[in-house]
Structures are given as C-alpha cells and as structure tokens.
C-alpha cells in the first residue's frame, strides 16, 4: 500500500494527525530515511513500488530503481526480474497437469497472475504449453473459445485441450473485472480472482453445442504464487546480477532518478519518470490473434523474448 | 561422424568401393535424399551437423538450418537452442551439491561440457553458481586457483567453495587437452574428459600451501548429460517455436542455404556459410577476468544474455 | 460414475430401456466384457472403482483389483498407489510457497484433496510442511485455529504460518460440506471445494482478536491436481511393480475376487469384499491432537508410514 | 575419520603425545565432552559414525543414536534416513538421461554410491529405472551383461538400454575393488570409483560379439552426491521426525546405548551393539537374480520397502 494513499486504518498508530479517509504520510517516510541516514535508496519491484520510488525521487531522495515483477509490465524496460521464471514455471506446471486432464478427457483451464498485461499467459502459450489463451487486453467471446477448445480436444488423441487465462481477463459481455471480494491489496487495488472459474463454468455449459450435444467437463487450476516459487532459471539468475551491478555503477557516478533496464536486447538505464508515463501491455494487433485466441506466430525481426521489447 | 570423413570401419557394410582409411560417402547421401524425395532439408544441430549441412547445400540440396547446441558456440547466431536450459540446469545442480560440499567443508569441482568455448562455465558462474570458473579459452594457473578458492572457502561460514570447469579447459603447464582414451566421437573428435578430476587433484595438493599447511579435500562431479536433461526453460521453449517458424518462412520464400539466428537480440537469418567461417568462443579480454578467474562484471551496454551477442 | 447408478442423461445414447432417473446398466457391461472376451479384469482405482469391481465380481467376472488413490482411504490395505507421491509433492509445493508467505508476512492456507479422510493433510504436517492441519474427521473451531496460527506466525522470524486443509474439512458451526456447485463428479458425489477459501476468510477476520487488533492477511492456494502430477517417488515406483506382480501371481493361481494389499508392512492380498465393509479414515483419538490441531507426535511401536496401518 | 584410528598427520596439532602411525585420541574426545558439559550425545550417521558412537557408549557416554545413510546398510534397522530419497532421485536422474541415451542409441551406464551393499542400485532397478544392475554382493560376468544389455537395447524401439552399477561392484575376473587413487576418506577407507567407467569400457568392447559385429557406444554417468541432494521425499520427511521423537523418548526414560530403528515395518529401538555385530547387505539368494542380473520379482509376503527388512 503506497504511503501516499493510506486508508486511515492502515496509518501506523504512533503517527498522529492523519485522520482523513486517505492520507499521504510521505513526510514521515522522508524523516525516517533521513534519521536512519540512507544515502541512496534502491527500490526493487513493479509498477506500484516504482511509482512511489519516483515520488521519493521527486521529494529529493537519491533513488536508483530495479524493475522486478513477473507480470513484466513496467514501462521503460523490456524485462523485469521474475518474468522468465514465471514463464518457465507456468510451462512446467501446465505440462504436469496434462496427465490429469487427459485421463479425465477434459478442458484444462489454468489461471495465472496478470492484472493488466497478458504476457504471462501469452508467452507460455506461444511456447506450446496451451492451445489458447485469454488476456486482459482483449475481452473474451466465450462461445468462440468453447468452439476452438472443443475442436482442439477432439483432434487430440488424449482428448483434452488447454487454455491459459490471465487473472485480469474479462468476458466480452461483462462490464468489469471479476472481484473475489471487496478487499484491496496493499496498494489499494481490489483483489482479483475467479475469472478462471467463471470461464471454466461457461465452457462446460457451452461445450455441448459444439460437441454433438455432450457436455465436456473442466479441470480448473489457479497457479497463484506457485509460478513465482522455486529455483530461478538462467535469465533470472543472470539479469539480477547485471541489474545490481548497473545500479551500483549509476550510484558511483551519482546518476540518480534512474531505472536500470533492458532496451532492445541490451542493458541500459532510463529516467525513473518513464515508469509512470505509460502502461506496458500486450500490443494486440501485433501479437494476439483475436480470431484464433492465441499468439500470432510471426517472428521475423521480432525480439528474442518475443513481444516484451516494445 | 561426418559422412565426408568416415573411417573405413564406420562405412555401412552395403556400400562398396570405400576402402580408404577416411572416406567421403556424400554421393551416397545425395542419392538417398533424391530417392526418398526430400525437397528441403532442415538440419538441427551444432558445429558439426551444420558444417555438413553446408556441404550438402554446396552439393545443391535445399537446406535451411537451425542452430542447436548447449555449448552455444555456433558462429553467426547469438543463441543456439539448449544453451539457456544448460545454464538453468547447471545452476540448479550446482546449488544442489552445496550441502554436500558444505557438510564436508571441501572444494566443489564441477566439470561441464564445452570443448572449445567456455560459455557454459562462465554464465552459471556469473549467475552466482560458482566462485571461479576455468574455460578453454584461457590456460589455468592451478596455483592461482588454489589460492583464490582457499580464500573463498575460508571466508564462507560453511567452509566450502566452488569452481566450474569446462571439459575443454587445460592447465597452463600442460601441452594438450586431457584425453580419457584414444577413442573418438561420431565426428572424429577425440573424447575429452578428466580435466575436472585433474584440477581436483591439483587443488588438493596445492591447498595446504595456502591453508596453513592443511590440505583441503575435494568433491568432484562431472555433470555430463544431466545438464541437457529435463524440462526446457522459458527461452528454450520459445526459441524453438520461433526458429521453426522462421525456417518455414524461409522455405516458403525459397530462401535456401540459410541459418535461422538471433542477432543483437532479434530473430533473423544468416548465410549458412557463416557457420564455417569462424569459431565462436568467449572473448577473454572482454568477459573473463584472467587474474580473478571469474567473469568480468561489467554490464553497461552489454547484451541481455551477456557475452553471447558478439 | 458407477454403471450401477447412472443418471438418465449419462446413459450412452445407443442403450435403450434405461429411462429411470437412476439406472443400473451392469448387464450391458457384462455383455460387453463377454463380447470382448475378457478373461480376467484388473481394475485399478479408489473406493468407487473398487466397489464397482466388487459388483462385477459378484456378477461372476474374474477380478483381481489394485488399490490406487492418493487419498489412501481404501479399507483393507495400508497403502494405495499414489499416496506417497501426493505427500512428497504436497511437502515440496508447500515449501515453495513459504517465500511468498514470508515476504508478505501472512497466513498460508493450502487446500489439498481428501474428501472423507485427512491422511493427505496430516502426513505432510507431521513431516514439517505445516504448523497446523484441518481434517474431515474433526470439525474445526476456527477461533482456536486463528489463535494458534497467530501465535505460530508471531514467533516465526519470517512472520508467517501455514495450515493444510483437507477439501472435505468442515467448520464446527457448519452443518454440511461446502459445495462449490450442485454438480456431481462421475461417481455421483457433489463436487467439493472452497473450504480453504472459507477458512482463509475466517482467519483474516478472527486474527485481529489475537494480534493486538491488527488483521493478518492470507495467501490461499488450492493444490488440486498438482499433487498427483510429476514424477512418482521411490515408494510409488516400487509398490506398483510389486502390486502388478502380486496381481499376476493371483491370476496364475486363479485366486479371483481379491485386492492386492500391504498389511502391517508386508505385501499381501485380501478379499475384495473388505473394500465395501468399512471406511478407512484417520483415527482421531490416536493420531490427531484436537487441541493443538496437529498430529500427535507419538511414534513408539507405530507403523513406518505413520497411521496408515490400522 | 574415526578418532580411534587417526593417522599421525590428522591428529590436531595442539594435541601432543600422539606420534604413532595410527592413534586413538578417544580420551581427548571424552575430556572435551565433559568440559562442554554434554549430558547426552545423539550421533546421526552410518556404519562409521555409529560404530564410534558405540565406542563412546562403552566409555560411559550417554548415547542414543539415529541411523542415517543413503546406503541403508546399518545392521539393526530396516531403514536409514536418506535411503528413500536416494532411490527417488536415482530414478528421477536416470529417467532424465534416457533421452540422451536414446538419441545416441547407446548403453547408459550409471554408477551410484554403495560401497558394500547394493540396495541403492537394486531398488531403482526394481522400480523400472534400469534394465540390469550390478551390485557389490555378486561379482559381475561382463560377457553376460553385454549379452543381456545388447538384447535389451535391440528390442527397445529407441535403441538403448540401462544398467545401474554400485561403486563397490567388481568384475568376476578382478581381484579387488577399483581404486581411484590411494587416498582414503575420513574413516580410512580407500576411495572407490571407476567401476562404472571400467564396465562401460568392457561393454563397448564386448558388445560387437552380440551385435552382429558392430560395437555399441556408451554414455557413462556417475551420479555421485547428486542422489543425496535436493528435497527429501515423503518417507525422508516423516522418518526423521519420528526418529527424533523416538530418541527424545529414550532420553526422557534414560534408556541409553540404543539405536532408534524400524523393525518389520514398525518404529522401535535396538541396542547400539547391533551396529557392529554384523554387516547388512543384499541377500543375493532371495533378491538378486544372478542369471538375469536384475532383482528377483517375487513379492508375496515381502516387506513394503522390498528387501530392506531382514
């Protein structure tokens, strides 16, 4: 939860004078940083962490930031620590679930994190983990998905098919995201969840229309935090070492207010302001086939870690 | 073993007239390809496979090639399928061995594949899997390594240190590679092996000099084929999908004699001739600290998958 | 779904004369077995599969059955194929989630399969994967769990604690199981789900009472089919080989109507009737500490695979 | 290295008066235990650790011991901590190597630890990890192995076959174990190694005799410490919890000089003297088929963890 937008109930009890419904306690943060004697702050995180990092930079704190979020949706860098391992793990866990889906001859509906950006559903699908994917950037026509997945299942000798669903995805006929409850996370976002289950239910109902009147059952699995658990892969072992060194290089040169980054395949850094300037999401026209509900398989001239480099 | 350099004993028995010590049976290969009716050949492999692919191209066969070798030493492409998983797995297996090394308070000497190029030892070391690495591109001063590893071990609260050794590495005082036997692999190279064991033995002997007269024991482990076993990671799931599509695009356009590739972070293709034009090895001046026997930690402007992009 | 209790909608369309709401199509099954020429049937499964196997045996089919269910709740055998791997995987996945729970300083609530028997929650807890467990055999006092878990969390330097919940568990104040929907699985059981989420919600609400007025957040994860995915462990590689051989031995000796089994640590077989004679569930008095909500740690004279041998 | 048989060079330098080639410094150990104020000692280990534990018990130290060795060769207990995970990991790593063996159409020769007892080679073979195994308890007729493995390979559609070799195995024509060097481990045993390589070499040479005159190549892999690395499986998570509790129960009751154990499938304890009374090795007549070079597949009345219960 950002110290600049703190609900009254979350203000630490020893602080007085913050009685508004939403409070900005940044002055207290600054006092503490000064008291501890922090010369340079190196915040590591995603959009929320980094946008508050920019706020502190604006307040005069020496900041060099490192992008780290498995969603890979920080504007200004092609890559954020954790994304590759998230893809590696999603592929691994999805493949593990195939035997269960196949022995029951069902649809396998797997929900992954990804609130605004569908990279974590699109990349594993491109890598062969799933037949189709549903991403936040394009509202889903559930009928179309039921049609495609039934077709995928029936031409698979083991009689199952797989769809990866981002937690932030939504049905075309639906007004807003599906909310598990009215609760919010520590940055004030309402907590998402359940779109995988809802799509699973829809598929079960719609499948009979495309399967000679017989309904197809569903295995639902939310991968949740499992995709950010376990050993980091090669890229997520090398990039943190590089980003850490780059941050120290910037500090040595007293170049503050910067975000270390990867730009078109090379290590670099950008002004921290880029973080808040724009959202980084999947370019649907370029990378998502809205008719086939899967990636566009066009690679000539594309970046190595496809679609993360724009 | 290349059909252009086949020892007499390896010539298939139904072929006659190949009685020289070394024989080129390429004409037989061409006849077979014609007989089967192969329109386009898509060879997938490393240096040896690809250089014979070029030979077939020179003979008029339509060839589009895909680079695949965990050594990542094919000239003309930044990346070969298998390299990232090899690094991922080397890191994973090396970390697994730490408890054994620590409980015995020893040096851990791990040998990995890599006949001519040290990428598979250098990258995991950069990623934190090892304290030091020994690569084919720079002959080893064993005294220096014993000194550094003893120092590493003694400042580690668990009293162990780790070195990664390429199979093609050599001691500075040694004239040629260490050969396990006089046998050759199917491309005619003599089989390597044993440098890890030899360095282990040297470290044990030399350690007492740097450790107050007390010898330090060694855990030796050759990872062998284990690093190319198991699930592929994210990159090695995405790149093959891209390379396969790129190859088909070239075939559709009838652009033969090409190698699909990654160049400076982007998918591309190059003439197949590039494969045989030069060796791709670690640029020691840029990437290997010959005094500290470890990578040079300089990242500004370097490629994402450090040192594979030159 | 058992062929002896088939809803009209599930009767294969080519069969006529089965128009009751629930139908027994066993005679069709027998005709088919005769038509195909099956001499001996070797069914492999859990309670439902095995009780229909007994039905076929009663009808005169030669049956030798093999127990396989990760729930390990088949009466007549200490062990069912899949249980050990389920425990191995639950421990592995639970440990993987610790870093996420710890970095957020939350309760980690993990739901595992187990409709009637709590073995799959109890054994991993005994093995150190969780602080507490909730099993179907003992209704949960949620206040007590909130109290214990808050205490566990606050004495953990990483500020988190873990509870494993069986899908068939229930709150003491709750009349019946929590049903995700009115749907039934292929054996006619209504589908379970959601108790993990409900306990998570309860914990969040109740925690402030035991934590100086401050609420503790929750990471919820349903492991689902992931615990029966991946490589089998040692026991689940050896036991299937043994069970298969034992089944063939029985067939050679024409001893039909039997279930291969493990009894008090040794391979054996029992009459197939034992399957339907009684339920195998956790003996709460002996193995579950209803005050501490965890296993009873008393081992003297207990079986190797604790509590599966009664 | 046992303090009762310490070479002069291994005597700690601050101790004087130990100038014999082999020294017993047990009196120093006893003085130190007394000085530190150790009331009860709980040694955990295999044959060597436990036999010195017995020595300390004989000297009057209060000892309760726990068996832990992946070789599972401690007399007096059916099970030692680490054995199951060793089997689990050996199966996993062996399966991982199949693709490499198959793509090269070779013999896969895998060497595992096991100096005197072949349990760690026999059990994975029984579980389906290998076609054949070679154990220390029965000298190998290499011709017979070459014959069987060639047959196994040629009826495998992927053209490979697998043999597991204990490090302590020996060729029938060979007088003594194969020693990598003259060095000894910390208990004074000479270090083993190389039998896997030697058998690999023998197989390559002999194979042509059984394969129409064509030699079959070999992939050699020593698993080494990798089989005792990584996550423990279910049994090795539960048993240590049980053994630890049993040890504390004994201490509470002041029953010293005992080894916690599993006997015929149940937790128990035995006098520590049993450790030194006899060797626990594979009962070849009962469990190893000396003609087929693989386990005897007879399970009726056998213990769950086959052959470890005698």
CA torsion angle A68 A73 A74 A78 (round to 10): 90
Residue in chain C closest to D122 (alpha carbons) equals C238
| Sign of the dihedral defined by the CA atoms of residues A231, A236, A238, A242, in that order | negative
Contact D265 C268 (CB under 8 A): no
Query: How far is A281 from chain C, CA to nearest CA, in Å?
Result: 25
Q: Is the CB of residue C153 less than 8 Å from the CB of residue C145? A: no
Q: What is the mean pLDDT of residues C4-16?
A: 87
Other beta carbons within 10 angstroms of residue B147's beta carbon come to 17
| Residue C279 binned pLDDT confidence (cut-offs 50, 70, 90) | confident
Q: CA nearest A234: which of B52, C174, B60, B88? A: B88
Contact D101, D108 (CB under 8 A): yes
Mean pLDDT value of segment C290-301:
94
Tell me the mean pLDDT in the region A212-230: 93
Q: For residue B247, what are its two tokens? A: 């190859």
Q: Are B148 and B133 in contact (CB under 8 A)?
A: no
**Residues with Cβ within 8 Å of residue A25, at least 6 apart in sequence:** A3, A4, A6, A11, A15, A18
Instruction: Give the whole-number percent of chain C exceeding pLDDT 90.
Output: 79
Q: Report yes or no: D288 and D282 within 8 Å, Cβ to Cβ.
A: yes
Q: If you search the block for the tokens 């190196």, which residue do you land on? A: A42
State how far Cα A12 lies from the chain centre: 30
Question: What pLDDT is recorded for position A181?
Answer: 45
CB pairs under 8 A between C and D: 144
Question: Which two three-digit tokens encode residue C242?
Answer: 């043994």
Q: Is there contact between B and D if contact means ≥3 C-beta pairs under 8 Å?
A: yes
Torsion of CA C49, C54, C56, C60, to 10 degrees: 160
- Residue found under tokens 């059990």: D123
User: Among candidates C264, C78, C86, which has minimal Cα distance to D235?
Assistant: C86
For an interface test with A, give the residue of C106, C200, C226, C236 to mutate (most A CBs within 10 A).
C226
C309 pLDDT tier (thresholds 50, 70, 90): low
State whether A265 and B231 contact (CB < 8 Å). no
- B90 contacts B108 by C-beta, under 8 angstroms: no
Output the six-digit token pair for C104: 């957020």
B183 and D217 Cβ atoms separated by less than 8 Å: no
Q: A–D contact (≥3 CB pairs within 8 Å)?
A: no
Q: Which residues of D touch B201 (CB under 8 A)?
A: 181
What local confidence, expressed as pLDDT, does residue D305 receive?
A: 81
- Residues paired with D263 in a beta bridge: D266
Contact C199, C136 (CB under 8 A): no
**Higher per-residue confidence, A38 vs C304:** A38
Say if residues D135 and D73 touch (Cβ distance below 8 Å): no
CB pair distance less than 8 Å for D265 and C267: no
Q: Span D94-121, mean pLDDT?
A: 96
pLDDT in tens, C187-228: 555 444 489 999 999 999 999 999 998 899 999 999 999 999
Asked if C101 and C65 count as a contact pair (C-beta separation under 8 A), the reply is no
Angstrom distance (rounded) from CA A247 to CA A240: 10
Least Cα separation, residue C300 to chain A (angstroms)? 35
Looking at residue A305, what is its pLDDT? 81
Question: Across the interface, do B97 and D229 touch by the CB < 8 Å criterion?
Answer: yes
- Nearest chain A residue (CA) to C212: A13
Helix (H) or strand (E) holding A183: strand A179-184
The mean per-residue pLDDT over the stretch B248-271 comes to 95
pLDDT class of D191 with cuts at 50, 70, 90? very low
With beta carbons under 8 A apart, name residues in chain B contacting D99.
Answer: 229
Distance from A23 to chain B by nearest Cα, in Å? 40
Question: What phi and psi, each to the nearest 5 degrees, are found at residue A183?
Answer: -75, 160
Mean pLDDT across chain C, nearest whole number?
Answer: 91
Given a cut of 50, is residue B181 above it in pLDDT?
Answer: no
Q: What is the radius of gyration, based on Cα positions, of chain D?
A: 22
So what's the pLDDT on residue B238? 95
Is residue B63 within 8 A of residue B41, CB to CB? The reply is yes
Q: Which residues of B are catalytic?
A: 71
Are B231 and A92 a contacting pair at CB < 8 A?
A: yes
C95: chain D residues, CB-CB within 8 Å: 231
Residue among B92, B299, B303 with most chain A CBs within 10 A, to mutate? B299
User: Rounded to an integer, what distance in angstroms lies between the CA atom of residue B27 and that of residue A228?
Assistant: 54
- Check: CB of residue A222 under 8 Å from CB of residue A114: no
Judge: B237–A85 Cβ closer than 8 Å, yes or no.
no
Q: What distance in Å separates the CA atoms of residue D288 and residue D282, rounded to the nearest whole number?
A: 8
Give chain A positions within 8 Å (CB) of C93.
226, 229
pLDDT-derived band at B54, boundaries 50, 70, 90: very high
> Is chain B adjacent to chain A, meaning 3+ CB pairs within 8 angstroms?
yes
Neighbours of A212 (CB within 10 A): 9
pLDDT in tens, B58-82: 999 999 999 999 999 999 999 999 9
Question: Residue D177's pLDDT band (boundaries 50, 70, 90)?
Answer: very low
Confidence of residue D173 (pLDDT cuts 50, 70, 90): confident
HEC sequence for chain C: CCCCCEEHHHCCCCCCCCCCCEECCHHHHHHHHHHHCCCCECCEECHHHHHHHHHHHHCCCCEEEEEECCCCCCCCCCCCECHHHHHHHHHHHHHHHHHHHHHHCCEEEEEECCCCCCHHHHHHHHCCCCCEEECCCCCECHHHHHHHHHHHHHCCCCCCEEEEEECCCCECCCCCCCEEEEEECCCCCEEECCHHHHHHHHHHHHHHHHCCCCCCCEEEEECHHHHHCCCCCHHHHHHHHHHHHHHHHHHHCCCCCEEEEEECCEEEEEECCHHHHCCCCCCHHHHEECCCCEECCCCCCCECCCCCCC
Q: What is the dihedral sign for C-alpha D50, D54, D55, D60?
A: positive
CA distance B254 to chain D (A): 30
**B309 pLDDT exceeds 70?**
no
* DSSP structural state of residue B46: S
Residue in chain B lying closest to A262 (CA):
B304
Which subunits count as partners of chain D given 3+ CB pairs below 8 Å?
B, C
Catalytic residues of D: 71
pTM above 0.90, yes or no: yes
pLDDT at A251 over 80: yes
Q: What is the mean pLDDT of chain B?
A: 91
Give the pLDDT band (50/70/90) at residue D181: very low
Which residue in B has a C-alpha nearest to residue A91's C-alpha?
B234
Token pair of C244, please? Answer: 């298969």
Active-site residues of C, by number, are 71
Which residues of A lie closer than 8 Å to C, measured between beta carbons? 93, 96-97, 99-100, 181, 201, 219-222, 224-226, 228-230
CA triplet B153, B159, B165: central angle to 5 degrees?
A: 50
Q: Which residue from A62, A63, A59, A31 is spatially nearest to A49, judged by alpha carbons? A: A63
Angle of helix C234-252 relative to helix D234-252, nearest 10 degrees? 100
pLDDT of residue C182: 46
Cβ within 8 Å, pair B93-D226: yes
Whether residue B305 contacts residue B79, with contact meaning beta carbons closer than 8 Å, is answered with yes
Q: How many CA atoms are closer than 13 Å to the CA of A86, on its beta-carbon side?
A: 25
Burial class (CB in 10 A: 0-12, 13-18, 19+), A120: buried
Min mean pLDDT across A88-102, A168-182, B112-126, C150-164 is at: A168-182
At A119 the three-state DSSP class reads helix
DSSP string, D81-131: BTHHHHHHHHHHHHHHHHHHHHHHT-EEEEEE--SS--HHHHHHHHTTS-S
Inter-chain residue contact D84 with C234, CB threshold 8 Å: yes
Across D40-69, average pLDDT: 96
What the block records as the tokens of D27 is 């009196």
Residue with tokens 């060979």: D174
Q: A235-252 and B119-126 helices cross at what angle (nearest 10)?
A: 60
How near does any CA of chain A get to the CA of C121, in Å? 19
Rounded Cα–Cα distance for residues B263 and B304 (Å): 12
Contact (CB, 8 A) for A67 and A46? yes
HEC-encoded secondary structure of B221-276? EECHHHHHCCCCCHHHHHHHHHHHHHHHHHHHCCCCCEEEEEECCEEEEEECCHHH
Q: Model confidence over D7-48: pLDDT tens digits? A: 888 888 889 899 999 999 999 999 999 999 999 999 999 999
Residue A51's Cα: distance from chain center in Å? 16
Catalytic residue among A47, A71, A78, A236: A71
Strand partners, A22: A7
Test D233 with C88 for CB contact under 8 angstroms: yes
Q: Are D77 and D263 spatial neighbours (Cβ–Cβ below 8 Å)?
A: yes
Query: Which stretch of A39-53, D160-174, D185-199 has the lowest confidence by average pLDDT?
Result: D185-199
- A 10 A CB-CB count for D154 gives 14
Q: Chains with ≥3 Cβ pairs under 8 A against B?
A: A, D
Helix (H) or strand (E) holding B7: strand B6-7
Nearest CA among D18, D76, D20, D67 for reference residue D46: D67
Looking at residue D179, what is its pLDDT?
A: 45
Q: Are B190 and B183 in contact (CB under 8 A)?
A: yes
Give the model's pLDDT for residue D109: 98
Nearest Cβ partner for A301 among B267, B300, B303: B267
CB contact under 8 A, D234 and C266: no
């Amino acid at each position: 939860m950002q110290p600049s937008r703190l609900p009254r109930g979350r203000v630490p009890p020893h602080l007085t004078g913050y009685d508004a419904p939403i409070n900005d306690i940044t002055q207290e943060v600054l006092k503490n940083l000064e008291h501890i004697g922090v010369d340079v702050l190196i915040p590591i995180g995603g959009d929320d962490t980094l946008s508050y990092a920019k706020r502190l930079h604006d307040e005069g704190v020496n900041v060099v930031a490192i992008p780290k979020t498995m969603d890979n949706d920080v504007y200004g860098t092609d890559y954020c620590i954790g994304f590759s391992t998230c893809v590696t793990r999603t592929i691994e866990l999805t493949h593990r679930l195939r035997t269960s889906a196949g022995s029951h001859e069902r649809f396998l509906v797997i929900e992954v994190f990804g609130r605004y950006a569908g990279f974590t559903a699109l990349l594993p699908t491109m890598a062969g983990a799933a037949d189709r994917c549903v991403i936040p950037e394009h509202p889903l026509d559930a009928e179309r998905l039921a049609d495609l997945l039934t077709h995928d299942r029936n031409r698979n000798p083991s009689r199952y098919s797989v769809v990866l669903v981002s937690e932030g995805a939504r049905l075309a006929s639906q007004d807003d995201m599906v909310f598990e409850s009215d609760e919010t996370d520590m940055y004030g976002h309402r907590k998402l969840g359940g779109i995988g289950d809802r799509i699973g239910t829809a598929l079960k109902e719609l499948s009979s229309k495309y399967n000679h009147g017989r309904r197809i059952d569903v295995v639902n699995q939310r991968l949740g935090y499992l995709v950010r658990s376990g050993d980091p892969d090669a890229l997520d072992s090398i990039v943190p070492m590089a980003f850490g060194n780059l941050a120290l290089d910037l500090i040595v040169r007293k170049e503050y207010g910067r975000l270390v980054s990867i730009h078109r395949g090379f290590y670099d850094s950008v002004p921290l302001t880029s973080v808040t300037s724009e959202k980084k999401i999947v370019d649907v026209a370029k990378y998502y086939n809205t008719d086939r509900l899967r990636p566009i398989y066009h690679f000539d001239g594309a970046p190595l870690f496809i679609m993360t480099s724009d």
